[in-house]
Structure 1
Amino acid sequence: KDQVMKWFQVSVTKAWGRISHKYDFEVTFRNLDSAGALKIRFRSGKVVVLNLIPVVQLGDTDAYFVSHFPSDRDSLPDPYWPLSLSVYERNLMKHLAKHLPQTSCHLHCLQIVTFLHRKQSRLTGQSALTSYHLKTAVVHLLLSTRTAAWGTESLERRLQDVFSFLQRSLQEKKLHHALIGNSKLPEEVQVPEIFRKAEPINLFRSLVLQTDLYAA
């Protein structure tokens, strides 16, 4: 991973060196330890920051190995790159939205639980529970609950479902990935067979291996 990140940083530097004379701003790295952390400074003094994350495509699929996720608190050790299925996750949400009521509350539901989790984290500090876990819980409920039950008038009940689902998952220390090894996935989403027929992955496995995380 470190070698790829260094190559990426050198490549960006060389590429910018070739074309920088065409633009009225300068590009620098905000953090030498993070190859894609860029800062753009305009002559007016305005500064724009952005992150470019190196990825490697998995075969001919829309799955990608990424050097790191921006939200990672603890980066995986070299040479491990986490696998991102975000393209399929986005396709799944689009597919589900087509069959939900026009006034579906699923996004409001996710926004509320994410907001509450963020507020709680500010009060008590970070925990092992992440926004991705919350999204995964909502997706599981979307796949297992009849679509008509997601109308705006059912927001309170769906929120209760999400909290109950999360509570049960935490107690059991088991939350399966929404796409990997999930037989309930619609075929229209076209998740590759290598993922659909794989063994389910427990996103709460760290809680089993590290009891101190569970206590947090």
Structure 2
Amino acid sequence: LTAELMESFRRVFVDSMSESFYPVPQEAIGVGSAFEGWSPREWDGVYCVLVPLNAPPGHAFHLELDSTGQMAARTFRVHVEPVCTCQREQQGQELLCFLHHSQKELRRKHQRSLLKTLCIGSYLDVEKTSHWFYQLLRSSWLHVPQSHSWHLAFQPCSRSCQLQLSKGKESLRVEMLFGVHQGDSDIFVVSQPSEAQKCGSSIFVSSQPTKANIMASTAWPEMYAVAEVKFFQHMARQVPCESLHLKCLQVFTCILTGTGFPISIWKTVLMHLLTTVPLSQWHRREFARRLWDMLTYLSHCLQLKCLKHFVLGSERLPAEIRVPLAVRKVEPPNLFEHLARDPAAHREAMQIY
């Protein structure tokens, strides 16, 4: 139902926005555990989808890495640049050029550049984009086939759009993020950081918000969830028992809930093991050994105070996962860096382990 709903919305968007200068929504991509083939015990039942946004006619998006160092995760700004459309106008398309037509003519045609609507300066603003997307969803709902049988409640927030659909005793919750491609890859910059990014992938540290965790409205965090979904789908086709590795992940996230090790840590451990333990050894009869491998790997990383990010700087990703060269070349961040800096946090982690 989630995929059908997103496709219905996309079709309505195409029809209603054909002559606008707002970002162009593309086909939604499911991300998170529900689309990786498993779900943690504490899963909140929210299906998360990413809606890629393309630049509208007369505009181009350019990603600029934010080097201010305010966030633990890599963040970008989406620079919006007007581009000349005079040639398209000469080819018979009724498209005014924001660079070469006068402001008077643009106003007469009721044409407003994206720079005047959803940007702060020349940078795409997350909160303005979220509000625009929320309004777009509301106005599109009655034109979607699902509106005849489902009731939809909107729960807007500053960096995403949350929907709750209900029909009798059935209900479905969807969180829609929006983002911009990094080139033609499976890496995006998105409207909202993941839970791991919100706390800098840290464990055993204060959860109180700090100045470093407050994101500017023009900050778009880098997201690897699409690459991770494709990685797990790829591995399901390679291992002898297509779901054994996911069962390992589910066991640890269920048994060790509340111990201080977030799901992102166990996922990272599993992804590393899937590229080091021979795929032929992921049989059902090897289930206990693979669980032990995960514990041993985590213990080793804790002792070294080092767990490398799996996607950033990885040389082990399957070829079908498209990653920009800059992402491949970057030094993989250490997800346990805070343990190396804080002896007390490291002792606590070792005690809990």
User: TM-score with structure 2 length normalisation?
Assistant: 0.50
Could you tell me which residue of structure 2 aligns to residue 163 of structure 1? 295
Question: Normalized per residue, which structure has more strand?
Answer: 2
* Number of residue equivalences: 207
Separation in structure 1 between the aligned mates of residue 144 and residue 322 of structure 2, nearest angstrom: 40
Note the 1:67-146 alignment, pairs <5 A: 67-69=191-193, 71=195, 77-79=215-217, 80-102=219-241, 105-118=244-257, 121=258, 127=260, 129-146=261-278
Residue in structure 2 matching 1:63, options 170, 187, 191: 187
Q: Which secondary structure state, in structure 1, belongs to the residue aligned with residue 189 of structure 2?
A: strand
Map Cα deviations across residues 169-214 of structure 1 (whole Å, 9 max, x no partner).
2333321121221223343444333322221122233444667765
Q: Please give the residue correspondences for 1:10-89 in structure 2 after superposition, counting only pairs within 5 Å.
A: 10-16=135-141, 23=148, 26-33=151-158, 35-40=160-165, 48-69=172-193, 71=195, 77-79=215-217, 80-89=219-228
Q: Is the 8 A contact 1:104 1:151 kept in 2?
A: no
From the superposition, tell whether residues 208 and 2 of structure 1 become closer, same or farther in structure 2 (CA, over 3 Å): farther
Between the aligned residues of both structures, percent identity stands at: 28
> Which moves more between the two structures, 72-81 or 158-167?
72-81
Larger relative contact order, structure 1 or 2 (CA cutoff 8 Å, min sep 6): 2
Unaligned runs of 5+ in 1: none
Q: d(CA) in 2 for partners of 1:92 and 1:45?
A: 35
Distance in 2 between residues matched to 1:154 and 1:69, nearest whole Å? 36
Residue 54 of structure 1 aligns with an amino acid whose one-letter code is F
Task: Give the 4+ runs in structure 1 shifted more than 6 A.
Answer: 17-20
Q: Cα RMSD (Å) of the superposition?
A: 3.2
SS in 2 for 1:52: strand
The answer as to whether partners of 2:155 and 2:162 remain within 8 angstroms in 1 is yes
Amino acid at match of 2:327: F
Greater helix content: 1
1:183–1:10 distance in 2 versus 1, CA, 3 Å: same
State how far apart, in whole Å, the 2-side matches of 1:188 and 1:49 are.
Answer: 30
CA deviation string 1:136-186 (max 9, x = no partner): 101101111112222111111111110111122233332112122122334
Q: Structure 2, unaligned stretches of length 5 or more?
A: 1-125, 200-212
State the alpha-carbon separation in 2 of the partners of residues 210 and 56 from structure 1: 35
Do the aligned residues in 1 keep the contact of 2:182 with 2:324 (CA within 8 Å)?
no
Q: What amino acid maps onto 2:128 in structure 1?
A: Q
Matched, 1:3 2:128: yes
Answer whether contact 1:105 1:154 (CA < 8 A) is retained. no
Residues 202-213 of structure 1 mapped to structure 2, 5 A cutoff: 202-208=334-340
TM-score of the aligned structures, taking structure 1 as reference length: 0.76
1:57 Cα deviation (Å)?
Answer: 2.0
Is the contact between residue 29 and residue 35 of structure 1 (CA under 8 Å) also seen in structure 2?
A: no
The amino acid across from 2:255 in the alignment is L
3-state DSSP of counterpart to 2:315: coil
Change beyond 3 A, Cα 1:32–1:139? closer
